């Protein structure tokens, strides 16, 4: 069977499907603000993962095995790097003491902003790579540095007073002292004011932008195809909300996760540095198959999560 060429209609159809799913999510399943419990989060996490795998199957049927493997590898990389984002979001919500029933709406709106920002970054990255293939070496060096820095970084801390976007917003608008339901704006002494909910959303958006600087270049290590890069990013972002509610309360048990994510970034960075990108010496060209990359990333994450779980269980038994 001939490969189906990706056209603007495929892009439009995919984006339309995503918008429909998001509209159903917010307008039907989460119309009323409520606390998302473990079972609900587990069901939604399984749903988004199954949807991503069905999409990979469709890619295999219409585009071939290699494109399906590239999508799956990109999805796994994005999803794994999103775990660190989950930790930071949990710290943001704890810092501002965001009511549990408002957290889903915040994450939903954060996803809409993340889709737009990452779409722009992916388009810029594809255009840049198309014109200057050697820029992939810069991406590889950056990811290698980011992985090493993550390994030796101290525990993540949230300092909203140092966030430039928040400082600028506070200069433009007054801020109400307390949350006002699910409102982002209110009146304070006759002036239009922001609520703490608006500040949290702004901080979540800027945080995702920072994480995108790592995660978007990472997908270019397995594919240069814009449609695959974009769709793998979107599926990972769509699953981020349910993943947050599934793991936020248990992140303390994943003590070796940051080491695992650091190893993933180092591996991806080294892979990009060793692979050929444009004219390069023959001895320097070491091509790693996408399937092998997917396997390495999966093994790294599995080892990190398993070691974390075993250590947590031993400490729990010792405390009895």
Q: How far apart are CA 208 and CA 231, in angstroms?
A: 17
Q: How far apart are CA 119 and CA 139, in angstroms?
A: 18
3-state secondary structure of 186: strand
Q: Which of 69-73, 77-81, 275-279 has the highest mean pLDDT?
A: 69-73
Confidence of residue 100 (pLDDT cuts 50, 70, 90): confident
CB of 115 closer than 8 Å to CB of 269: no
Q: Has residue 1 been placed in a domain?
A: no
Q: Has residue 243 been placed in a domain?
A: yes
* Rounded average pLDDT over 265-285: 73
Q: Has residue 3 been placed in a domain?
A: no
Q: How many distinct helices (H) and strands (E) make up the chain?
A: 11, 2
Instruction: Please give the mean pLDDT across all residues of the chain.
Output: 82
Give the number of domains in the chain: 1
Q: Has residue 110 been placed in a domain?
A: yes
Q: Has residue 40 been placed in a domain?
A: yes
Q: Which of 11-20, 27-36, 74-83, 284-293 has the highest mean pLDDT?
A: 11-20
Which of 12-26, 83-97, 154-168 comes out lowest in average pLDDT?
Answer: 154-168
**pTM attached to this predicted model:** 0.84
Would you state the pLDDT for residue 125? 87
pLDDT digits over 226-272, tens only?
999 999 999 988 888 788 777 765 665 677 888 888 898 899 988 88
Q: Has residue 2 been placed in a domain?
A: no
Task: Give me the DSSP letters along 33-52.
Answer: -----HHHHHHHHHHHHHHH
* Rounded average pLDDT over 191-198: 89
CB of 30 closer than 8 Å to CB of 108: yes
Sequence-separated (6 or more) residues with CB below 8 Å from residue 131: none
Which domain, by its residues, includes 248?
A: 8-319
Q: How far apart are CA 236 and CA 54, in angstroms?
A: 14
* Rounded average pLDDT over 184-205: 87
Has residue 98 got a pLDDT over 90? no
Q: Has residue 281 been placed in a domain?
A: yes
Has residue 304 got a pLDDT over 90? no
Q: Has residue 123 been placed in a domain?
A: yes
């Amino acid at each position: 069977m001939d490969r189906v060429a990706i056209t603007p209609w495929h892009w439009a159809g995919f984006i339309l499907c995503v918008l429909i799913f998001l509209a159903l999510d917010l307008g039907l399943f989460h119309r009323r603000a409520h606390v998302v419990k473990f079972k609900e989060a587990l069901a939604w996490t399984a749903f988004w993962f199954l949807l991503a795998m069905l999409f990979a199957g469709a890619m295999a049927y219409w585009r071939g095995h290699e494109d399906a493997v590239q999508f799956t590898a990109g999805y796994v990389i994005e999803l794994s790097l999103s775990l660190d984002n989950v930790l930071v979001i949990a710290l943001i919500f704890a810092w501002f003491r965001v009511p549990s029933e408002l957290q889903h709406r915040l994450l939903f709106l954060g996803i809409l902003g993340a889709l737009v920002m990452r779409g722009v970054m992916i388009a810029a990255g594809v255009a840049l790579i198309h014109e200057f293939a050697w820029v992939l070496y810069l991406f590889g060096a950056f990811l290698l540095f980011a992985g090493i820095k993550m390994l030796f970084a101290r525990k993540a801390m949230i300092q909203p007073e140092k966030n430039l976007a928040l400082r600028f917003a506070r200069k433009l608008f007054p801020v109400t002292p307390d949350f006002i339901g699910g409102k982002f704006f209110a009146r304070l002494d006759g002036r239009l004011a922001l609520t703490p909910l608006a500040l949290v959303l702004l901080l979540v958006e800027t945080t995702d932008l920072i994480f995108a600087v790592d995660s978007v270049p990472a997908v270019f290590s397995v594919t240069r195809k814009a449609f695959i890069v974009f769709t793998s990013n979107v599926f990972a972002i769509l699953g981020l909300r349910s993943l947050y509610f599934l793991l936020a309360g248990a992140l303390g048990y994943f003590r070796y996760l940051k080491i695992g994510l650091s190893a993933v970034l180092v591996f991806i960075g080294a892979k990009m540095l060793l692979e050929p990108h444009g004219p390069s010496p023959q001895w320097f060209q070491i091509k790693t198959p996408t399937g092998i990359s997917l396997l390495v990333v999966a093994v790294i994450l599995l080892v990190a999560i398993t070691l974390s779980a075993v250590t947590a269980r031993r400490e729990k038994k010792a405390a009895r």
